Structure 1
Amino acid sequence: MRQRRAPSLSRRSRHRRPPRPERKKVTLDQPPLELTVDRLSSGGDGVARAESGLTIFIPFSAPGDRLRVKVTDQKRRFAHAEIVDILERSSNRVEPRCSLFGNCGGCAWQHLDYSVQVDAKKNIIRDALKRIAGLKREQPIDFTPSPIEYGYRVRTRMLSGPEGLGYRKRSSHTLCVVSKCPILVPELAPELDRVNAEVSLLASSKESQVEWELVADTRGRSRSSRLPIRNSGDSNRANSVSRFHFLDRKLEVSPGSFVQSNGAMHAILHRAVLEEVGTGGYAVEIYAGAGFFTLGLVDCFEKVDAIESSDSAVADLRVNLRSQRNADLRVLAADAEEVVPARIDDIPDCVLMDPPRAGASLSLLEGVTKLNARRIVYLSCDPATLARDIARLSDRGYRLRRIQGFDLFPQTPHVEVLASLVRE
């Protein structure tokens, strides 16, 4: 009788890794930990590693800090902690300019030297390209810091409640009342005072946390608007519109329409984008907004299609393009997914995209690649969603040619990224 062979291990089980040693659990009720911060995360927190190997995120810490921290929230792979004491102060630290720093949710990095902020933002972009876009070779990053570190915001949105006007506290819906803000351009200080006074008169109102938009334009004129705008008719436009001048461009923006917040970077960003789109016969701009880049595209291309879905932005776009009546220019007031590729008649030399933080939808990217454009220039305020979309475009025949970073938001971890892709 043939002897039965002992069951063999499957290929998977033969090569199975030995189980990882179980991490020693960090509990919320244990004594404070002493940790050294290694780096900054994409969310802005300092990152340290406990003896157990657990990654711990620590707000308002700096690389090189030696800290005593208390764990506030524990997950399986990571934890959050707050600073109990700074045992050794990192040389990367500076004194914050705002007395509300750490309480107000508007800024996360006022305690960091600006050169450290710039390096961290480069690393955030680099990490997203490697981890999410899957780039095997490191891509050089051309980075442009902001020419000013404070007093740069020409536009902000704030909330008002019975206590006054301000921003939400960090990781909270509670309002942090702001009477002055060093991030805003000085021209907005009187407007902030005026709105705070108006809000205090309405303190008995039953409404909670009404949103306001404060804007200062290049004429030195400031305004505030309660959002949403209840009456946006032409009769009110002259009194509420803000006007921005950069290079030889003039841009009008009404309440609720988007404009880049860092006025000192307007000309720099505009010039950089136009250099990447180049020149040619035909360009398609997706998420055109009020026409910040459209004004330049009509000088670079014989024909331009500008796509925008926001009613207020489309109204601004048409006003801003009145001086371009001789240009072959079409404004498509619709969702981009409805227009691309259905209403695009020719092969563009370039597609310029400036989507919201969530990035472009998969259906839009598929539509864009069907246009077979020679170049795609993609401006993003979120490196992670940009990296995701670069991966999708790479799968559809486009190669990343250049990546640039722009610091539009000093004292925060936010960064603007410009990607240039070419058809293979």
Structure 2
Amino acid sequence: MEREEIFEIDNIAYGGDGAGRMEDGRVCFVPFSVPGEKVKVKILKDNKNFCRGEIVEIVEASEKRAEAPCQYYGECGGCSYQHMTYDEQVTVKEAQFRQVLKRLGGLDIDNDDIEIVPSVNQWNYRNRISLNARRTENDEVIYGFIGRDNRSLVRVKECLLAQAPVNEQVPGLSKTKWGHRNSKRDRPLRATIRHASSNKETVAFYGKAPVGLPWRREIYNDKEYVMPSGSFSQVNREVAEALQSMCAEIISSLKECTFVIDAFCGSGFLSMELKGVRVVGLEIDDKGVEAANFNAQEHGLTTHKYIAGDVNKLLRQRLGKLIGETTLILDPPRAGVGPGTIKAISKRSPRWILYVSCDPGTLARDLKEILPLGYKHKKLAMLDMFPQTAHFESLILLELDNA
């Protein structure tokens, strides 16, 4: 028998669902709710320690509630926060960052300042989207985003988070020469659309980027960089510029730092603004490393060198010199760093670690391993790289306590 309860939403849990306490004291997670609202909720999943429900009625709405402009919102699994004002989204993400680092990472940061960088653009900021492909009962291949149920595919004509040149490519994905080839596959590949800010080029490819696809030319902080079309790069240019500048400012403030290892460096984006220090970048993507060395040469960075290979193995080799003068930049994929990286840090102990993360959960997990090695945190930042979604970028500077 379905039951309903009325309660207040206390906060938004990491992942996007509101959380409030029911009469029996258990927490109930409720999508599309806003902190401070009183809601009537239908209980959908009733577990021993918590419940999940959906809003039946907003009894008392929050002044932070907004009208979601996207026609796919609520069905598409990409966005979680369109129903909140942007200021509230940023407030929620800062609170989540604190909560995750404290609960999972064991950091006492209640009284610490966190530098907050909101996004200049709350809409149409993404220079890249990837759309999943699925064959319909009529043998038509359609493209869209995975639904909130993690099973269905929501066919879309546009994404309000994507830049206009990206959206212009969406309707024709099945009509291109490569799109026709993709439609003949037993399992059609996902389509990626990327727009480059410098050469104004927009390309679409299916599956992995084809060999020979021209490098993108992107402008960050008034400098042009080349990047392979199939390699990782940040999707929000303005926030990416702020992140690049922040890393340079932090490292320049470390007066005794003479050597920087940029681990998981991609095309060298984070270390390209560094001056007055020697830089070695490590990255498994050889195309990214090729681009990084090209960028360094183009900008006259003779002290920068980028190496392709297994980052964990290379770290053990490269962390052996100038430990007291070394800053290790970590910018791993969403899964975080591997045990090999933690082991390398434990053996060699660089004086500073600047960890950039797109997932506070894996960041907190890794910090739980790194902090007991003798480190203390010196700076925290949250950068909203992904407005309207539950995701954000974060940064933490660690220093060896006995340095």
TM-based fold match above 0.5: yes
- Whichever residue aligns with residue 174 of structure 1, its letter is S
State the Cα distance separating 1:358 from its structure 2 match: 1.6
The Cα offsets for residues 305-337 of structure 1, whole Å up to 9 and x where unpaired, read as 110012332333233233257613332211121
Change (3 A) 1:420 1:161: same
Indicate conservation of the 8 Å contact 1:64/1:92, yes or no: no
Cα drift, residue 256 of structure 1: 2.0
The code of the aligned residue for 2:229 comes to P
Find the counterpart in structure 2 of residue 7 from structure 1: none
1:340 aligns with 2:291: no
Counterpart of 2:125 (choices 152, 176, 180) is: 152
Q: Distance in 2 between matches of 1:32 and 1:312?
A: 55
Letter in 2 for 1:172: N
Structure-2 separation of matches of 1:72 and 1:208: 34
Give the distance between the partners of 1:202 and 1:340, measured in 2 at CA: 42
2:100 is paired with a residue whose SS is helix
What's the CA shift string for 1:326-378, capped at 9, x where partnerless? 61333221112111222444125211110111211233123124333221111
- Following superposition of structure 1 onto structure 2, how do residues 141-180 of structure 1 map, counting pairs within 5 Å? 141-162=114-135, 163-180=141-158
**Equivalence for 1:194:** 172
Aligned residue in 2 for 1:58: 30
- Deviation track 1:115-166 (CA, whole Å, cap 9, x = no partner) reads 1111111101111222122223522211111111111111121112235221
- Equivalence for 1:290: 267
- Describe the SS at the equivalent of 1:33: strand
CA 1:100–1:209: 2 relative to 1, 3 Å: farther
Q: Could you give the per-residue CA deviations for residues 149-199 of structure 1, whole angstroms, max 9, x where no partner exists?
A: 111111121112235221100132211011011111112121122215449
CA contact (8 A) 2:313 2:340 kept: no
- Show structure 1 runs of 5+ residues with no match: 1-28
User: Which residue in the other structure is 1:322 paired with?
Assistant: 297
Query: Which residue is equivalent to 2:202?
Result: 222
Contact 1:277–1:352 (Cα < 8 Å) also in 2: no
- Counterpart contact for 2:296–2:302, Cα < 8 Å: no
Query: What's the counterpart of residue 272 of structure 1?
Result: 246
Q: CA deviation at 1:202?
A: 6.6
Compute the displacement of 1:203 (Å): 8.7
Note if contact 1:213-1:256 (Cα within 8 Å) is conserved in structure 2: no
What residue number does 2:381 align with?
Answer: 404
User: Which of 369, 372, 382 is 2:359 aligned to?
Assistant: 382
Contact 2:263 2:328 in 1 (8 A): yes
Q: Which residue of 2 aligns with 1:307?
A: 282
Shift of 1:249: 2.5
Paired AA for residue 201 in structure 2 = R
Percent of aligned positions with the same letter in both sequences? Answer: 27
Give the structure 2 partner of residue 331 of structure 1: 306
Whole-angstrom distance in 1 between the partners of 2:386 and 2:42: 30
Q: Is the alpha carbon distance of 1:203 and 1:62 closer, same or farther for their aligned partners in structure 2, counting shifts above 3 Å?
A: same
Give the Cα separation in 1 of the matches to 2:343 and 2:126. Answer: 35
Q: Residue 87 of structure 1: CA displacement?
A: 2.9
User: Which residue identity lines up with residue 213 of structure 2 in the other structure?
Assistant: R
Matched, 1:420 2:360: no
Give ranges in structure 2 of 5+ residues lacking alignment: 136-140
Kept in 2, the 8 Å contact 1:242–1:252? The answer is yes
Q: Select which of 100, 108, 111 maps to 2:83.
A: 111
Q: Distance in 2 between matches of 1:135 and 1:372?
A: 20
CA spacing shift, 1:92–1:30, aligned 2, 3 Å: same
Q: 1:213 to 1:70 in 2, by over 3 A?
A: same
Supply the distance in 1 between the matched residues of 2:218 and 2:285 (Cα, whole angstroms): 20
1:39 Cα deviation after fit: 1.2
Report the secondary structure of 1:342's partner residue: helix
Say which one has the larger Rg: 1
Between the two proteins, the alignment pairs up a number of residues equal to 388
Greater shift in the superposed pair: 215-224 or 192-201: 192-201
- The letter of the residue matching 2:305 is R
What is the CA–CA distance in structure 2 between the aligned matches of 1:292 and 1:200, rounded to whole Å? 32
Correspondence for 1:366: 343
One-letter amino acid of the structure 1 residue matched with residue 191 of structure 2:
W
Deviation for aligned residue 1:200: 7.9
Report if the CA contact (8 A) 1:168-1:176 is conserved: yes
Q: How does 1:37-186 map to 2 (within 5 A)?
A: 37-138=9-110, 139-162=112-135, 163-186=141-164
Give the TM-score normalised by structure 1.
0.86
Alpha-carbon distance in structure 1 between the residues aligned to 2:299 and 2:316:
25
My pick for the range that moved more, 374-383 or 323-332, is 323-332
